[in-house]
Chain A
Amino acid sequence: MTAVTLTVNGTERSLDVEPRTLLVHALRDDLGLTGTNIGCDSSSCGACTVLVDGQSAKSCTMFAVQADGADITTIEGVADADGTLHPMQQAFHEHHALQCGYCTPGMVMAAISLVEEYPGLDEGGVRHGLEGNLCRCTGYQNIVDAVLAAAGSGGD
């Protein structure tokens, strides 16, 4: 086992993991943060997207040991402590940017990173930028609308 210390949603967490433990399993199984979903299990769908040092990463394609010392943000960590939604969450709510909701945590995390990385996104930029996040309900139109709205309102 290897000792790993992560700052998760602002709180330092120490855990012992097998080196082969994927970050998503450490988050879900060791830390109980089950908001991050596992979808495809093959680095394709983006359901497991979290922020690693502020940038989107697929937590199924990273070992927890690689994240030792890193700052991790999951969907549980983006709203304010008083429950006020993050502007991206609020935009998803207002634009009904979810159907079954399974892709939503990863979609929101990817979108938060996207608007931070690419200022001034247009529709094509949002679609291209979210190509690593799959919605099998195919509810993309409202997701794109939500991300554009959040980007326009400084939704980072």
Chain B
Amino acid sequence: MIPAAFDYEVAESADHAIALLAQHGDDAKLLAGGHSLIPMMRYRLATPSVLVDVGRLDDLRYIRTGNGTVSIGALTRHSELEHSAEMAEACPMLASVAALVGDPAVRHRGTLGGTLAHSDPASDLPAAVLALGGTIVAQGPGGSREIAATDFFTGYFESVLAADEMITEVRVPAGGGGWNYQKFNRRAQDWAIVGVAVAGGGAGVSLVNMGSTPIRASGVEAAVAGGASAAEAAAVAADGLEPPDDLNADAEYRSHLARVLTERALNAAGVA
């Protein structure tokens, strides 16, 4: 399957990438690792007329810690998160979740900024950033803005990111208590049928593939904060949600999984 033809531009800097996006309009897309975009282009679900390649912006590949925050350059690859000693020390949850994405070849190419911009509710890292209470830094023609992860995702493959904006950095708190990530799937390298991320000893809980976005399980968080047991808190994990029905699982089964996996994740994160 061959993608539709497109014009190819190499961005020399984030500013250059944003200028190219502004110049080419809505039909231009950023290309980072390409591991979400290229398959969609091959199926012709995406037919951008221009690709702006930001994959060579090595100055946006970094992991820095300081002032209780881990700052990660948007072009940092999943395998770099996975193997970073600094990440293992400062935010082991993100390193651990990165190691569960796809397979090694995917992790060598895929980027943190790319997976957030793609905003797939079935992806692992967006939910992890959400549970961690992360912040996404986006640069546009008018400068940079900080977007709380809780405000970032708006629907299937949609976010508040404007067509002429680019994610440049992701920030998550360093340290911060018990964590766990539960990823349930049936076949090698599949997306999670349902996933649950718990950060901060239950202060942050998010769900994968339980709706049109990664979802913050605020009911579970409130229950944990109020002293509920893991079982009591997990019982409300699927309340009010409308998870998708598909070939892998129907909505009822997904709701069941969300409750079971939330309890397991809370237990593993230290909530009794």
Q: Which residues of A contact B (CB under 8 A)?
A: 2, 18-20, 22, 41-44, 46, 49, 52, 55-58, 61-63, 65-66, 110, 113-114, 117, 129-133
Q: Which residues of B contact A66 (CB under 8 A)?
A: 31, 34, 53, 55
CB atoms of B34 and A57 under 8 A apart: no
Stretch at the interface among B105-113, B129-137, B242-250: B105-113
The answer to whether A132 and B4 touch (CB under 8 A), given A56-B108, A57-B108, is: no
Contact B104 A132 (CB under 8 A): yes
Q: Could you say which of B2, B39, B189 contacts A61, with CB atoms under 8 Å apart?
A: B39
Closest B residue by C-beta to A43 = B39
How long is the Cα–Cα vector from A66 to B38 in the complex, in angstroms?
A: 12
Contact: B3 with A20, CB < 8 Å? yes
* Residues of A close to B41: CB separation below 8 A: 20
Least CB separation from B82: chain A residue: A117
- For residue B253, CB closer than 8 A to chain A, the reply is no
Q: Do residues B5 and A20 form an inter-chain contact, with CB atoms below 8 A? A: yes
| Min distance, Cβ B123 to any Cβ of chain A, angstroms | 15
Q: Which residues of B contact A58 (CB under 8 A)?
A: 105-106
Q: Within 8 Å CB of A57, what residues of B?
A: 105, 108-109
Pairwise interchain contact B51-A110, C-beta atoms closer than 8 A: no
User: In the assembled complex, how far is the CB of residue A121 from the closest CB belonging to chain B, in whole angstroms?
Assistant: 12
Q: How far is the CB of A17 from chain B (nearest CB, A)?
A: 10
B77 to chain A, nearest CB (A): 9
* Complex Cα–Cα for A19 and B38 (A): 12
Per-residue interface assignment for chain B, residues 25 to 41, with 1 indicating a CB less than 8 Å from any chain A CB and 0 otherwise: 00000010011001101
Nearest-neighbour CB distance to chain B for A148, whole angstroms, equals 16
Residue B103 is within 8 A (CB to CB) of chain A in the complex = yes
- Asked, given contacts A55-B79, A131-B188, whether A46 binds B5 with beta carbons under 8 Å apart, the answer is no
Top 10 A-B residue pairs of the complex, sorted by shortest distance between their CB atoms: A132-B103, A19-B8, A131-B188, A55-B108, A56-B105, A20-B3, A131-B189, A43-B39, A58-B105, A61-B38
Contact of B189 among A18, A22, A49, A132 (CB under 8 A): A132
B156 within 8 A of A: no
Q: Which residue of chain B has the shortest Cβ distance to A20 in the bound complex?
A: B3
Q: 5 interchain pairs (CB within 8 A)? A: A22-B38, A43-B39, A43-B106, A66-B55, A131-B189
Given A62-B38, A131-B103, 5 additional A-B pairs, CB 8 A: A55-B105, A56-B104, A63-B8, A113-B105, A132-B103
Residues on B with beta carbons closer than 8 Å to the beta carbon of A130: 103
Report B70 CB to chain A, min CB distance, Å.
Answer: 23
Instruction: Chain B residues near A52: list those with CB within 8 A.
Output: 108
